[in-house]
Amino acid sequence: MESPQVTAPGHASPESALPHGYTANKDAYLRRLKRIEGQVRGIARMVDEDKYCIDILTQVSAVTKALHAVSLGLVEEHIGHCVVGAAAEPDPDLRAEAIDVKVKEAAEAIGRLLR
């Protein structure tokens, strides 16, 4: 049997409608992602137009760095909002479990970024 997901008060589980740590910066994240989307379209256009491979790789590198910056911002928001929020859980038993869950989520996300 699957164990229930532990969520600190005021901190959203993946399926919850409560605000996430990045909510305050959502518009900035969306602007950055739309800019990255445009860069990716530009790279596709470069390939379609048979541009020089090193020029394409330079643009791929720029997009990769931009995505890493977004990812790191989201990890920081997760730690600052979700992990810290789990530490505010009033029940000590639930607090320890909630912290463990949120820290594990952050560690796994960081691991995926490093692959």
Range of the domain at 59: 23-114
Residue 40 located in a structural domain: yes
Query: Residue 112: helix, strand or coil by DSSP?
Result: helix
Residue 16 located in a structural domain: no
Residue 36 located in a structural domain: yes
Percent of the chain past pLDDT 90, that is, above it, reads 58
Q: CA-CA distance, 71 to 75, in Å (whole number)?
A: 6
Q: CATH number for the domain including 84?
A: 1.20.58.1000
pLDDT given for residue 92 in this prediction: 87
Domain count within the chain: 1
Residue that wins the pLDDT comparison between 56 and 18: 56
Residue 74 located in a structural domain: yes
Residue 13 located in a structural domain: no
Averaged pLDDT, 102-115: 92
Q: What is the pLDDT of the chain when averaged over all its residues?
A: 85
pLDDT digits (tens, 9 = 90+) for 29-52: 999 999 999 999 999 999 999 999
Residue 1 located in a structural domain: no
Two structure tokens written together for 4: 């229930």
Q: How far apart are the first and last CA of the chain?
A: 30
Q: Would you say the pTM of this structure is higher than 0.85?
A: no
DSSP per position, 10-74: T---TT--SPPTTGGGHHHHHHHHHHHHHHHHHHHHHHHTT--HHHHHHHHHHHHHHHHHHHHHH
Closest CA to 78 of 4, 8, 5, 2: 8
pLDDT digits (tens, 9 = 90+) for 72-104: 999 999 898 888 888 888 898 899 999 999 999
